[in-house]
Structures are given as structure tokens and as C-alpha cells.
Amino acid sequence: MAVLGINLVKDGLRYCVLEGSKDAPVLVHFEKVQTNNFPNTQQLMNWYETTFQNLITRFSPETIGIKVSLNAKKAEITPWYYPLGILHNLSHQNQINTFEFVSGNFTPSKFGMNKSIDIYDYIDQHFGVFQPKWDRNQKYALLAAWMNLI
């Protein structure tokens, strides 16, 4: 079953879909999705609802992992926190479990690795490097999905 990982960023979101097991994760898809310049919060939230529903319909995830940021500045509150309510509601309606993580949760030991391993370098070695979008924000989405594989 697919696991969807989501990382909300100021100008949209990053997502990643994994299958397989925690020991042998398989990258199915990843993407950077940018928002348009919406004139108000209502239209922005409508975009998030449509985008989340499209991801759920396309990938039928069993679980959704969400990377959460805890130190938003005022301008980041709307794009980082408001969509979380929409995502949780859609997950509830579609009977999908959700789990939230912060960057501090993404340690090598959570993936059965030695503590000396740099988890972000390991991602490049295991999954590959996909420039230009393969940055830390994209890796957060991957790690949020990977944390939910069994």
C-alpha cells in the first residue's frame, strides 16, 4: 500500500509517495506543487482542498505522514497551519490515518540505521538525486512517508 508524505512550504507543498517496507522503501512519485498568487485565504484553502483530494484519489494512500513546522513567522501561519485542518478532515472522510512529525523526528535510528549516518545523504544514495527539486524540503516529505512504512 502507498504512503503519502507531505511537507507544507510557504509557496505550496512537497509530497512523496512510497511503497514497500521500512527496510526496503520504494519511491513511487514525488513532486513540488506551487500555489498561485491567490487574492485571499479562502481561495488558497480551496486550492489546498482540491490538491489534497487529487493526491488521495490518485495514490489511494493507506497512511499520510505530515512534516510539521513549529516555528512559523506570521506570514507562514496561513500556508503552513491552515491547510493541516483541511488535510486532516479529508483524511478522516477517506478513513486514512495521519501522523505528524517535526524535523527532529527524522533520525537514523528511526529507520534502523547507525546514529553516525547522515539521513539526508543516505536518501541521495538510496533513492537517487533528482535535481533541481531534490532539496531538504522534498526530503522532509519523503521522510514523513518513510516513517509510516512498516
By DSSP bridging, strand 63-67 and strand 25-34 are: unpaired
Give the model confidence (pLDDT) of 62-99 as tens digits. 999 999 999 889 988 998 999 999 999 999 999 999 99
Q: What are 66's strand-pairing partners? A: 6, 100
Please name which of 142, 149, 112, 148 lies closest in space to residue 30, comparing C-alpha atoms. Answer: 142
In this structure, what are the phi and psi dihedrals at residue 3, rounded to the nearest 5 degrees? -125, 130
pTM, 2 dp: 0.95
Task: Determine contact, residues 82/68, Cβ cutoff 8 Å.
Answer: no
106 has pLDDT over 90: yes
**Cell numbers standing for residue 39:** 487574492
Q: What is the CA radius of gyration of the chain?
A: 15
pLDDT recorded at residue 107:
97
Q: Catalogue the E-assigned strands of 35-130.
A: 63-67, 97-101
| Tens digit of each residue's pLDDT (9 = 90 or more) over 2-57 | 999 999 998 999 999 999 999 999 999 999 999 988 999 999 999 999 999 999 99
The predicted structure's pLDDT at residue 122: 96
